[in-house]
Amino acid sequence: MEGLFWLLLPVAAASGWLSARYTARRNGSAAAPDCDRPERINRHCIQGLNYLLSEQSDKAIQHFVELVDVDEDTAETHLVLGSLFRRRGEVDRAIRIHQNIIARPNLSAQQKANALLQLGIDYFKAGLFDRAENIFHQLVASGAHSDKVYRYLRDLYEREKEWEQAIAMAERYGKASGEPQATRIAHYWCELVEQSVRRRRINEAQERLRCALQTDPDCVRAYIQRGDIQVALGNAKEAIKSFRQALEKDRHFSPVVLKRLYDLFRRNGQLDRFDAWLRRNTDYHKDAAARFFMLKTADGLHDEAQVAELLHDELGREEPSLYIVRAYMEKMRDTTEGDIREAFAMLIRVLDARLSSSMACHCTRCGFESNTLFWQCPSCQNWGTVRPYQNPLEYAWLEG
């Protein structure tokens, strides 16, 4: 029934609109061509409805598409019908309708441009990127729909991971539409940085990082990448500086940044300095990730008194980190015997089940959740909107 209403809507709109135009023409001074057209449309509408009621939907759709000849007066109706098909996921039918419009010789330049844009979008949605790209570039050359075309070209190059072309189109789209593109473009530069690193072109990677930070000085990802490169180059001091800057830009990323810093201090045999660094550079009273790494550092240094103190403080919190609570239970399990030891082991299993079902990251735009940090949200496709939770419950994923 839902499909029936969907099909009836554009048909009713088309037939009513055409009938109204016909009446207006008859009431005017101009002669009305094809005087039996409304009657013919009504007759064909009834035939189309019969196809629907007999569940011959393909015949009904084809009948309605052919019901009204495409001309200057009906082109918009066909564009609406094609867009409806595309939104329903029937891109092949949308393509046929829009191709049919473009093939008509009696349309204005604006109507042809509108149809061409819709056909390009059809190809884009169908994954026919080469065809879509050709159409969008035709529209760019003609100067039609420049802002929309630049946006689709930006998204197309993004899908194909052609990051330099995506940057160019994002810049053009930003100028044409007035919509800020700095965050997105900075991430495009970061994608290019990753390509350079994989090819071991470190100088090129550093230059692209500069472009990313010039575009968006608040790009946390760029600071993290710069820190990673400095670690690879053996420049611990510069790496620590970059990671600290990442934290200053967005404290939500402390689980990601602090894991890197912990590994760096540990590899350099300076784990005894990391606790002081954490206390100086983080708000560990509010940041469960910082407290987690303070505990991990104390454990790595075999400072049992510090471990006990940190665990005791955590248990006294209104919302303790369950992962730190788990560490406490492990400690109690390992220092007890018999039934008490088994009770702690059972509690750890229950807590593990709770932690395994929890998500570590979420998109601030659409609410998508994951245990992996994505720089582009897989759900809403926005860049830089996925963040680690600041809820001090789940940090097991940091052990990966």
**DSSP per-residue codes, 35-65:** TTHHHHHHHHHHHHHHHHHTT-HHHHHHHHH
Phi-psi region of 179 (alpha: psi -120 to 50; beta: other; left: phi over 0): beta
Strand-pair category, 361-363 with 369-370? antiparallel
Rounded Cα–Cα distance for residues 2 and 11 (Å): 15
pLDDT in tens, 196-236: 999 999 999 999 999 999 999 999 999 999 999 999 999 99
For residues 59 and 39, is the Cβ–Cβ distance under 8 A?
A: no
Q: What integer pLDDT is reported at residue 78 of this predicted model?
A: 67
CATH architecture of the domain formed by 2-173:
Alpha Horseshoe (1.25)
pLDDT in tens, 93-109: 888 878 877 877 777 88
- Identity of the amino acid at 198: R
Measure CA 384 to chain center: 9
The residue to which tokens 């550079």 are assigned: 281
For residues 365 and 382, is the Cβ–Cβ distance under 8 A?
A: yes
Measure Cα distances from 37 to 20, 30, 111 in Å: 12, 16, 23
Instruction: Render the burial of 50-72: b for 16+ CB within 10 Å, e for the rest.
Output: ebbeeeeeeebbebbbebbebee
Q: What integer pLDDT is reported at residue 344 of this predicted model?
A: 83
Q: Which DSSP category does 203 fall into?
A: H
- The pTM of the full predicted model, rounded to 2 decimals, is 0.78
Rounded Cα–Cα distance for residues 285 and 134 (Å): 56
Q: Which DSSP category does 376 fall into?
A: B
Class of domain 180-192+205-249: mainly alpha
Rounded Cα–Cα distance for residues 19 and 42 (Å): 9
- Identity of the amino acid at 80: V
Six token digits for residue 79: 């564009």
Per-residue pLDDT of the chain (400 residues; tens, 9 = 90+): 445 444 444 544 445 444 444 444 445 544 444 545 555 545 555 565 566 556 565 665 666 556 545 555 566 666 777 777 787 777 788 888 788 778 777 778 888 888 889 889 999 999 999 999 999 999 999 887 888 999 999 999 999 999 999 999 999 999 999 999 999 999 999 999 999 999 999 999 999 999 999 999 999 999 999 999 999 999 999 999 999 999 999 999 999 999 999 999 999 999 999 999 999 999 998 898 999 899 999 989 999 899 889 988 988 888 888 778 888 888 888 888 888 888 888 888 888 777 776 778 999 999 999 888 999 999 999 999 999 886 544 444 443 3
3-state secondary structure of 386: strand
Residue ranges, CATH 1.25.40.10, the chain:
2-173, 180-192+205-249
3-state secondary structure of 387: strand
Six token digits for residue 222: 């760029």
